[in-house]
Homo-oligomer: A and B are copies of this chain.
Amino acid sequence: MEKYDVVIIGAGPVGLTLSTCLARWGYSIKHIDNRAEPTHTGRADGIQPRSLDLLRNMGLKRKIMAHEPAKVYEVAFWDPSAKGIHRTGTWASCPNFIDARYPFTTLLHQGLIERVFIEDIEKHGVKLQRPWTITGFQNDGKDPNYPVEVSLAHVDGTHAETVRAKYLFSGEGARSFVRDQLGVKIHHKDPIAHVWGVMDGVVRTDFPDIKMKCTIHSDAGSIMVIPRENNMVRLYIQIASSTDPDWNPRRTATAEEVQKHAQDILKSYTISWDRVEWFSVYPIGQGIAERYTLDERVFMGGDVCHTHSPKAGQGMNTAFLDAVNLAWKIHHVESGFAPRTLLSTYESERKLIAENLLDFDARYAKLFSARIPSAGEVAGAASNEPEESDFVKTFKASCEFTSGYGVAYNSNTINWGPEHPAQHPLMLSLDQGTTKLRSGRILTPATVTRVVDANVVHLEQEIPLNGSYRLYVFGGEPGVTQTALRDLALHMGSPKSFYSVFAHRDQSRDRYHVRDNPATDFLSVCTVLNAKRAQIAIAEMLPEVFARYRDHVYADDVWDQRVPEAKAAAHAKMGLDERTGGVVVVRPDGYVGCVVKLVDGRGTCEALDKYFGVVTGRKLGDERASL
């Protein structure tokens, strides 16, 4: 019987992202999908700013941008007026108070996005098997190394096979065989269900905001306009709601009816269609799976676990992040970097986000159905005024959430907090104001100069999505921190440190050209110094532990508009002292794990050993350090 590390069901965004990560990290994968081909038209299309960071970190952003997607920078709101409709205001979809590299939503047909992933997994030796479906599975433990048996069949029933796997993942979409078999219930947070009509096409119109994302309320109904690639426009129109007196979830509409409806809403502007690319009517309820896994062997993610209205464009983005969250945890468990219990954080972290998403979805629906924002409130959101209405506050919080930067995982074993078992006086925290970073949140972006080649780079992107923790050593002023850096390196070099315990065993292999993981696959190290690039001599100024990551030494010498007074902008943005620095641990998926003060002596390494001791489930650090 064939054995695989992971069997993945479904080649939508969540399955493909998981497959891409694990294939790159060397896992054997069986990946099936019950469709004969990738998505042709329609479906999800919004990539949020945070997802763009992720795609870039995976090296896939450029291929997605090559399709010339539409970009949404602002959202326009239209309301009824005496003569038809009028614009009440616009606001940024990712306002300036969010520190985003790509402050826009990218709109591109899901099929094109899927193809980018498929090309990548094929490069890493995984061939999608389609159209195949799952017919059964059980975690029978008959083979302790490959405890899950999975039965698969061609959709036409002509072929079938049974394989064993370490893990089974369902990314099947809202209708999931795996979820049904597990008996996992869908919990409906908001009982209101809707029928939506969605139409992609090329239009001609005198409506001035046709290339903007718009929410339009009129006496004839409401509509959402979203620009697309290739001069297309997507319209979302609500066809029925379970709050209607004559509610029927099977209610439908023809393309012509939806066009007529859109024309009535947009009056006195005119609109007509040169071409309709895709049209669909589908009911959507707001639901969340009660569990994402029962046994930490069979996992689910994406639409299997959470469904909601398409309005906020969150579906695909949540799927990407579900997959990445699970991918690195499987990788760390299978690599011996973490205890099996790490896998429990997949559900606890991602279910919280899905719950937030559903809460947001309900608020968002209410916001646009019930309340018409005034121009004054809109201006308030943009100008960062101290006095804010509840509406503006809600909007701001929503922007952060919809851009993907609102994701904040709670404290747990990997996100340090005051309840974390690894308590140490050198731990820094947002609550105490000793850093601006918060555990469980994405690392703040910062622009720095790479020392070896003087390239101006995005620090947060410098370690690719390689499955490793990222240790950012902000070294402050080299003259000030010389001893601290030397001491940190010294203790990191001790055999039981977090750095040494997972060191490559095969020391005979030539790793001269290995850029990100020369010493260990457990983590990658970046050193950032508050000095001009030309003043930094890596070999002379840095201990060998840091110097061997020679492509990851940076000068914090690029001016930043967000901290105009800072000499070392990256230090300042992290809320670290520009002279004395600090050490930031970032999880493999880009979220901050913990922040530690950089001091002379053993303390800094001790604090890191404590944190990583909890993370890895090992006793780390030397004798005296553990006293």
- Interface hub of A63, A73, A227, A551 (most chain B Cβ within 10 A): A73
List B contacts of A539 (CB < 8 A): 206, 208
Report the separation of the CA atoms of residues A454 and B104 in the bound assembly, to the nearest whole angstrom.
Answer: 10
Cα distance A534–B383 in the bound complex, in angstroms: 14
Contact between A231 and B513 (Cβ–Cβ < 8 Å)?
A: yes
Residues in B whose Cβ lies below 8 Å from that of A227:
453
Would you list which residues of chain A between 524 and 545 have a CB under 8 Å from chain B?
A: 533-534, 537-539
Q: Which residues of B contact A202 (CB under 8 A)?
A: 513
CA distance A65 to B209 in the complex (A): 33
Set of chain B residues within 8 Å of A73, measured between Cβ atoms: 449, 453-456
Nearest CB in chain B to that of A379: its residue: B534
Q: Could you tell me the distance between the alpha carbons of A202 and B510 in the complex, rounded to whole angstroms?
A: 14
Distance of A115 from chain B, by nearest CB (Å): 15
A210 vs B537: C-alpha distance in the bound complex, in angstroms?
Answer: 13
A211 at the interface (CB under 8 A from B): yes
A458 to chain B, nearest CB (A): 13
A62 within 8 Å of B by Cβ? yes
Within 8 A of B (CB), among A432-458: 449, 452-456
Given A512-B204, A513-B231, A453–B537 Cβ distance below 8 Å? Answer: no
Interface residue A71 (Cβ < 8 Å from any Cβ of B)? yes
* C-alpha spacing A89/B227, complex, angstroms: 50
Asked if A39 is an interface residue, CB under 8 A from chain B, the answer is: no
The answer to whether B90 and A208 touch across the interface, beta carbons within 8 angstroms, is: no
Cα–Cα distance between A90 and B535 once the two chains are bound (Å): 10
**Interface pair A74/B211, CB less than 8 Å apart:** no
Question: What is the size, in residues, of chain A's interface with B at 8 Å between Cβ atoms?
Answer: 38
- A59 to B, closest residue via Cβ: B68
Given A231-B513, A534-B90, do A104 and B65 touch, yes or no (CB 8 Å)? Answer: no
**Neighbouring B residues of A212 by C-beta, 8 Å:** 452-454
| Contact B455–A71 (Cβ < 8 Å) | yes
Contacts of A65 in B (CB 8 A): 62
- A382 nearest CB across to chain B (Å): 9
Give Cα A202–Cα B512 distance, bound, in whole angstroms: 11
Q: Is A1 an interface residue (CB 8 A)?
A: no
Complex interface residues of chain A between 266 and 316 (CB less than 8 A to chain B): 274
Q: How far is the CB of A123 from chain B (nearest CB, A)?
A: 14
- Inter-subunit contact A453/B512 (CB<8 Å): no
Identical copies of this chain, number: 2
- Of all chain B residues, the one with the shortest Cβ separation from A65 is B62
Nearest Cβ distance between residue A565 and chain B, in whole angstroms? 14
* Residue A323 at the chain B interface, CB threshold 8 Å: no
Query: Are A104 and B71 closer than 8 Å at their CB atoms?
Result: no
**Contact with A66, one of B62, B204, B206, B452 (Cβ below 8 angstroms):** B62
Q: Which of B209, B274, B454, B513 contacts A90 (CB 8 A)?
A: B454
Q: Does A148 belong to the interface (CB within 8 Å)?
A: no
Give Cα distance in the complex from A204 to B514, angstroms: 12
Report the Cα distance A153→B63, complex, angstroms.
Answer: 40
Report which of B74, B206, B455, B538 forms a contact with A208, defined as CB distance below 8 A.
Answer: B538
A488 at the B interface (CB under 8 A): no
In the bound assembly, the distance between CA atoms of A333 and B202 in angstroms comes to 36
User: Does chain B have a CB within 8 A of A596?
Assistant: no
Among A65, A206, A208, A539, chain B packs the most CB atoms within 10 A around the CB of A208
Which residues in B have their C-beta under 8 angstroms from that of A231? 513
The answer, yes or no, to whether A70 is at the interface (CB within 8 Å) is yes
Chain B positions within 8 Å of A533 at CB level: 74, 90
**Which A207-227 residues have a C-beta within 8 angstroms of B?**
208-212, 227
Q: What is the bound-complex CA distance between A208 and B537, given in angstroms? A: 8
Give A73 to B538 CA distance when docked, in angstroms.
18
A35-56 toward B: CB 8 Å interface, digit per residue (1/0)? 0000000000000000000000
A55 to B104 Cα, complex, angstroms: 24
B208 and A453: CB pair below 8 A? no
> With A202-B513, A231-B513 as given contacts, are A452 and B71 in contact (CB-CB < 8 Å)?
no
Cα separation A526 to B371 with both chains bound (whole Å): 38
Q: A208-B537, A210-B452, A212-B452 are in contact. List 14 more A-B contacts (CB 8 A).
A: A71-B455, A73-B453, A73-B456, A74-B534, A89-B534, A90-B533, A204-B512, A208-B452, A209-B452, A211-B452, A211-B453, A212-B453, A231-B513, A274-B513
**Subset of 10 A-B contacts with CB under 8 Å:** A71-B453, A72-B453, A72-B454, A73-B449, A73-B453, A90-B534, A208-B539, A210-B452, A211-B551, A212-B454
In the A-B complex, the 9 residue pairs with the smallest Cβ-Cβ separation, listed nearest first, are: A74-B454, A211-B453, A73-B454, A211-B452, A90-B534, A204-B512, A71-B455, A62-B66, A73-B455
